[in-house]
Amino acid sequence: MPSPTTLEMSPGKAILIREAAAATGVSARKINRLIDDAVLPKSACVKLGSRRAVRAYAVPMVSFGASDGSKLSKGMRLEAMRMIEKFAKENWPRLRDEPEHARLLRFESGCVMISLGVPVSAAMAGLNKLNDAFSRIVADSEVRGGIPVVRGTRISVYEVADALAADGPETTLEDFPTLSREDVEAAALYVKAHPRTGRPRADSKLRRLVSEETVELTSVH
């Protein structure tokens, strides 16, 4: 399990496939298919250890490739992808701070005109949201064996995500009174990017006990 950190989004930052999926809403399977089918340029695809990743500037390309990009011929799609890549690299600081800056970006070829701005803006907003989520999550070997927890607490992101899935946001906030709504959303997004494997879910009663124990522990500090 990687230690959560802010993404510090430079355009060349390596983003794991599941992180890109969480940011864009495109499934990891579809993103892998975009890579396998060479829809994404090789320069945008990297490895982090044995795991696939894409450069941050390619995340908007993923968003487009899984939506309107699938309607274009291969040649037109690659041309549109190059346009997105160029625009993202040249405008990265502003896009990161102002995703809507991409709204007017369009691809035109003959009688075909497709908006690139909507998927690019949405992907940048998703990356910003993921970046914020990661800034709220920490993993410390001294805290609950190093499982990811909400910063400043001993509450596991997986406990929060389980509660949210089972009971909804309002009950989850009641179960974990030390957390803000933003903390709950951050935990859920982190779990989408780094799903737990091989561990059972806690039931509602156990979640409440963990929450009460955590409140007691954090109040001491």
Quickly list H helices, the chain.
17-24, 28-36, 59-65, 74-90, 92-97, 117-135, 157-167, 169-175, 181-193, 204-220
Asked if 187 and 150 count as a contact pair (C-beta separation under 8 A), the reply is yes
Mean pLDDT within 53-64: 95
Distances (CA, A) of 111 to 74, 107, 108, 114: 17, 11, 7, 10
Among 134, 154, 184, the domain boundary falls at 134
Same domain, 125 and 179: no
Same domain, 87 and 167: no
DSSP 156: B
Tell me what pLDDT residue 8 has: 63
pTM above the 0.75 mark? yes
- pLDDT-derived band at 77, boundaries 50, 70, 90: confident
- Indicate whether 30 and 112 sit together in one domain: yes
The CATH number covering residue 175 comes to: 1.10.10.10
Does residue 130 sit in the same domain as residue 143? Answer: no
161 and 127 in a single domain? The answer is no
121 has a pLDDT exceeding 70: yes
- Specify if 7 maps to a domain: no
Confidence band of 4 (pLDDT split at 50, 70, 90): very low
Asked if the model's pLDDT at residue 167 lies above 80, the reply is yes
The answer to whether position 115 is within a domain reads: yes
Residues 69 and 147 in one domain: no
Please, what is the angle between helix 181-193 and helix 17-24, to 10°?
Answer: 130
Judgement on whether residues 81 and 108 belong to the same structural domain of the protein: yes
Answer yes or no: do 158 and 130 share one domain.
no
Assess whether 20 and 71 both reside in one domain.
yes
Residues 51 and 73 in one domain: yes
Where is the domain boundary, 134, 159, 181?
Answer: 134
pLDDT band at 74 (very low <50, low <70, confident <90, very high): confident
Q: Which domain holds residue 203?
A: 137-220
The CB density around residue 199, as the number of other CB atoms within 10 Å, is 9
Higher per-residue confidence, 202 vs 59: 59
Beta-carbon count within 10 A of 21 CB: 23
Look up tokens 């999550």; give the residue: 137
- The amino acid occupying position 185 is E
More confident residue, 135 or 5: 135
User: Which among 113, 134, 155 is the end of a domain?
Assistant: 134
29/124 same-domain check: yes
pLDDT band at 118; cut points 50, 70, 90: very high
> Are 29 and 117 within one domain?
yes
Lowest mean pLDDT among 67-71, 158-162, 168-172: 67-71
Q: How many CB atoms lie within 10 A of CB 157?
A: 27
Which of 31-35, 76-80, 180-184, 203-207 is predicted with the least confidence, judged by mean pLDDT?
203-207
DSSP conformational letter for 3:
P
Q: Into how many domains does the chain fold?
A: 2
